[in-house]
């Protein structure tokens, strides 16, 4: 398996559950990132969580002690905007279930945000992870979906990892609610494992899929996308997936590790084998 690691030039790093959990940075994350840079391995922070804008995510990373640039970050909001531009080029008005921070990202991209009114007709309904969700807006989204408006989900996650004593109900669960109420499944589900989430990274860094490792804590998003793209899949057990679940998941990821700390050690070992004697 070291042969696969020796080829790695870039890491697509899931965020919540992989480099931090909720608002707590794992104590090994900074050392891992420094080690990757020293080995000449670049990285992109990749997240299915659309609740924060690019600016907010960069600020959060900085607060956690991680310096990053916009070019090192890719979110499901960006993926959704790119999908709309490609597949619904005339759409300008959206009805979102999403945070104000996410809505600002859509506004910056030129979209109008519709009010909660049957008179303010959208071109598209966007459903996301919404910690500001109200019963009224949930019902209005269902109304427009039932009327036949395109129904686009930013990500398929059912829950969002948190270090708080609660459950954060994510986009996939909201979509299941709306599907049960309207009889319609989303027309598109973006974010991981949608191939657009890795396609941009591969193109931006001129990578062959075998030179990219997708590192994350979820089988049905992170590992499914790695397998679809032909990238190296590294499942870490610091987030949603348990060791028991990982053991029976099929197809099996390339690596199942306790955390990115162990990945850093394995990458270093693999790179040392390439060093001249």
Same CATH fold, 77-189 and 2-48+192-272? yes
Distance between CA atoms of 62 and 121, rounded to whole angstroms? 39
pLDDT tens-digit series, residues 8-37: 999 999 998 999 998 899 999 999 999 999
Q: How many helices (H) and strands (E) does the chain have?
A: 11, 15
77-189 folds as Rossmann fold (3.40.50)
**Does the pLDDT value for residue 76 go beyond 90?**
yes
**Does the pLDDT value for residue 45 go beyond 50?**
yes
Q: Is 276 exposed, middle or buried (0-12, 13-18, 19+ CB in 10 A)?
A: exposed
Distance between CA atoms of 235 and 219, rounded to whole angstroms? 7
Tokens of 83: 């999908």
Q: Please state whether the predicted TM-score (pTM) of the whole model is above 0.75.
A: yes
CA distances from 259 to 162, 187, 239 (A): 17, 35, 9
Handedness of CA 163, 153, 259, 72 (dihedral sign): negative
Q: For the residues 213-224, what does the mean pLDDT come to?
A: 94
To the nearest 10°, the Cα dihedral for 125, 129, 134, 137?
0
Domain ranges of the chain: 2-48+192-272, 77-189
CATH number of the structural domain 2-48+192-272: 3.40.50.1000
């Amino acid at each position: 398996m070291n042969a696969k690691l020796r080829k790695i030039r870039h890491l697509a790093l899931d965020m919540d559950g992989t480099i931090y959990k909720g608002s707590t940075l794992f104590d090994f994350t900074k050392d891992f990132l420094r080690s990757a840079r020293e080995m000449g391995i670049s990285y992109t922070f990749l997240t299915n969580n659309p609740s924060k804008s690019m600016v907010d995510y960069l600020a959060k990373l900085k607060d956690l002690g991680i310096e990053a640039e916009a070019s090192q970050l890719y979110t499901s909001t960006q993926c959704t905007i790119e999908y709309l531009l490609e597949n619904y080029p005339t759409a300008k008005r959206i009805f979102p279930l999403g945070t104000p921070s996410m809505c600002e990202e859509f506004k910056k991209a030129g979209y109008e945000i519709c009010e909660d009114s049957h008179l303010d007709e959208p071109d598209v309904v966007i459903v996301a992870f919404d910690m500001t969700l109200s019963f009224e807006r949930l019902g209005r989204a269902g109304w427009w979906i039932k009327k036949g408006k395109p129904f686009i989900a930013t990500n398929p996650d059912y829950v969002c990892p948190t270090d708080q004593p609660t459950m954060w109900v994510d986009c996939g669960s909201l979509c299941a609610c709306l599907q049960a109420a309207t009889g319609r499944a989303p027309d598109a589900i973006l974010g991981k494992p949608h191939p657009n989430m890795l396609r941009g990274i591969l193109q931006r860094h001129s990578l062959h899929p075998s030179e990219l490792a997708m590192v994350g804590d979820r089988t049905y998003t992170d590992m499914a996308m790695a397998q679809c793209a032909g990238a190296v899949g590294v499942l870490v057990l610091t987030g949603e997936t348990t060791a028991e679940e990982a053991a029976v998941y099929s197809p099996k990821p390339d690596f199942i590790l306790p955390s990115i700390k162990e990945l850093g050690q394995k990458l270093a070992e693999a790179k040392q084998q390439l060093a001249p004697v």
